[in-house]
């Protein structure tokens, strides 16, 4: 039991450990259920998006996973929702020929929006009003998707962001749900 709960967290496991290999081959039922729920949530969020919109969705999701918030102002789901709503409103007005930057209410959301906007503009370079409409659809979908995990898990303020991290971690490794992360370079075991 000790090995199962502290494997690769506190205990530096050798790569040839039979228990580590078995854990990678057979993830726990809870990890499989969590992965299935995460995938279903993301598929629901990406429903009926065309290819350009799906690619833009992946660009935004990847950006959110890699985004480094300031040390004392961690990013929460509400910031993602506010930033997505403000950017969507900005692109909606731009598609109508009006240039106006909508601003989110919180400082964290504003920082996120100002960091995300150049990424979106680079992804849609030369796309014109078609890109602006696609960006609106994708950002509104993110705004909607952020609310769903929060409704089911009100205890955390990062349910959607944690879901994105789990989804990308599952695909970044061998693609198997529940697979533990690679062992750290050095042991995090504290020895007195």
Tell me: pLDDT of 53 over 90: yes
Tell me: pLDDT of 181 over 80: no
Q: Kindly indicate the confidence band of residue 99, based on its pLDDT and cuts at 50, 70 and 90.
A: confident
Average the pLDDT over 164-181 and give the result.
Answer: 60
Q: Kindly indicate the confidence band of residue 19, based on its pLDDT and cuts at 50, 70 and 90.
A: confident
Q: What is the pLDDT of residue 25?
A: 76
Tell me: pLDDT of 2 over 70: no
Q: What is the pLDDT of residue 187?
A: 46
Q: What is the pLDDT of residue 154?
A: 56
SS3 assignment for the chain: CHHHHHECCCECCCCCCHHHHHHHHCCCHHHHHHHHHHHHHHHHHCCCCCHHHHHHHHHHHHHHHHCCCCCCCCCCHHHHHHHHHHHHHHHHHHHCCCCCCCCCCCHHHHHHHHHHHHHHHHHCCCCHHHHHHHHHHHHHHHHHHHHHHHHHCCCCCCHHHHHHHHHHHHHHCCCCCCCCCCCCCCCCCCCC
Bigger pLDDT: 176 vs 170: 170
Average the pLDDT over 140-162 and give the result.
Answer: 79
Tell me: pLDDT of 180 over 50: no
Q: Kindly indicate the confidence band of residue 60, based on its pLDDT and cuts at 50, 70 and 90.
A: very high
Bigger pLDDT: 23 vs 163: 163
pLDDT tens profile 126-149? 777 788 899 999 999 999 998 876
Predicted TM-score of the model (pTM): 0.71
Question: Could you tell me what percent of the chain has a pLDDT over 90?
Answer: 39
Domain range summary for the chain, segments of one domain joined by +: 32-172
């Amino acid at each position: 039991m000790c090995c199962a709960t502290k494997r690769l967290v506190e205990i530096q496991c050798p790569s040839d450990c039979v228990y580590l290999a078995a854990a990678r081959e057979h993830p726990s039922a809870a990890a499989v259920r969590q992965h299935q729920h995460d995938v279903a949530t993301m598929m629901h969020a990406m429903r009926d998006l065309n290819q350009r919109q799906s690619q833009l969705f992946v660009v935004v999701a990847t950006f959110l996973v890699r985004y480094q918030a300031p040390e004392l102002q961690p990013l929460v789901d509400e910031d993602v929702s506010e930033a997505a709503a403000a950017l969507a409103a900005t692109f909606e007005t731009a598609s109508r020929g009006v240039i106006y930057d909508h601003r989110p209410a919180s400082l964290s959301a504003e920082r996120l929006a100002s960091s995300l906007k150049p990424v979106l503009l680079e992804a849609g370079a030369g796309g014109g009003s078609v890109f602006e409409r696609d960006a609106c659809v994708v950002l509104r979908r993110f705004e909607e998707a952020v609310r769903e995990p929060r409704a089911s898990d009100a205890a955390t303020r990062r349910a959607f962001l944690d879901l994105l991290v789990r989804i990308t971690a599952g695909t970044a490794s061998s693609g198997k749900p529940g697979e533990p992360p690679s062992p750290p370079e050095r042991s995090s075991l504290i020895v007195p």
